[in-house]
Amino acid sequence: MKRIALALAFAALVVCAGCGKKQQQTGQATETPGKKRWTIGMSQCNLGEPWRVQMNKDIEEAAKQHADEIEVIFKDAQNKTEVQQAQVREFIQMGVDLIIISPKEARPLTKPVAEAYQKGIPVIVLDRKVEGDQYTCFIGADNVKIGREAGKYLVKLLGGKGKVVELKGLMTSTPGQERHKGFMEGIAGSQIQIIFDADCQWLEPIAQREMQSALARFPQIDAVYAHNDPSAHGAYLAARQEGKGREKSIKFIGIDALPHEGVRYVREGILTATFEYPTGGKEAIETALKILKGEQVPKNITLGTRIYTKENVEQGGEPL
């Protein structure tokens, strides 16, 4: 009799443990008695760029405010798509409660994200998008708007006409596509001409090299529209290296506006303007907590932007 009772108790325990695991996957509280602590897996496409280091810092800081509720596991995909695909699948295997991903490229990351989402693991896609709608929430600034504002700004700056070099970001990622699209809208109807463009993959050394080619080919360049500040800076370095003083006449425009990067370049007169691209790290954690607590969140959360020029940099830029 005693044995049967023991066996029954044991069986009940096993069933219960199973329930706990299932609950965890659907975003309910984890097993620690008396304490809810959820595990969030964060896949960062690379940590080679200052903006991404800042994003992780923003996530870490926001998560620290809720250390009793969440724990974040960070993974760095080192700018390799296959590594990032594997990371998402690893998080699924681990049974994390929620995934945050800042994907390197849209198309190849769409499937792993959809797999997690279909298994009931909420996914927040941060900054760069995936395709379709198989994710919980996208958080990021409006890159079409940023591109359009940059275009409108250049039209004004150059008096409606001029020769421009466009140094694009990775064009298999959505911010690159959208910053280009918006820029074309912004300069539409003007006599601004894009005389040279290149996919610089968001990287300063590539932008520097591409700008060297542009400088060698074109005696007149009025402005550089770079999809991020590292690329704008790379272009500036190429112009300075050329040794003809063109770094002083060409206007360099960038995007990101990190305080110790783009904003500093504006202050130093290297960039004419930069547009803020917020990391969304804090918002990702706030949204993650809402999802984990069962609250409804919007499918899209759009973050704001600001322009920094030498006229407004000391006042903290101007919202757009």
Binding residues vs ligand FRU (CB under 6 A): 49, 51-52, 127-128, 169, 173, 175, 202, 228, 255-256, 277
Least distance CB 160 / ligand FRU (angstroms): 28
The residues pairing with 102 across neighbouring beta strands, listed in sequence order, are: 44
219 contacts 242 by C-beta, under 8 angstroms: no
The residue among 38 and 202 lying less far from ligand FRU, judged by its C-beta, is: 202
Q: Are strands 273-276 and 306-309 parallel, antiparallel or unpaired?
A: antiparallel
Any idea what DSSP says for residue 295? -
DSSP letters, 35-63, are ---EEEEEEES-SSSHHHHHHHHHHHHHH
Least distance CB 26 / ligand FRU (angstroms): 30
Least distance CB 62 / ligand FRU (angstroms): 19
The residue among 24 and 56 lying less far from ligand FRU, judged by its C-beta, is: 56
CA-nearest of 175, 169, 173 to 232 is 169
Record the tokens describing residue 185, joined without a space. 């809208």
123 contacts 99 by C-beta, under 8 angstroms: yes
Helix (H) or strand (E) holding 139: strand 137-141
Least distance CB 29 / ligand FRU (angstroms): 34
Alpha carbon 161 to chain centroid, angstroms: 32
The residue among 48 and 120 lying less far from ligand FRU, judged by its C-beta, is: 48
The residue among 236 and 277 lying less far from ligand FRU, judged by its C-beta, is: 277
SS3 content of the chain, % helix, strand, coil (to 5): 45, 20, 30
Least distance CB 20 / ligand FRU (angstroms): 37
What is the distance between the alpha carbons of residues 22 and 306, in angstroms, rounded to a whole number? 44
The residue among 168 and 251 lying less far from ligand FRU, judged by its C-beta, is: 168
Q: Position 126: which residue type?
A: L
The residue among 38 and 135 lying less far from ligand FRU, judged by its C-beta, is: 135
Least distance CB 54 / ligand FRU (angstroms): 9
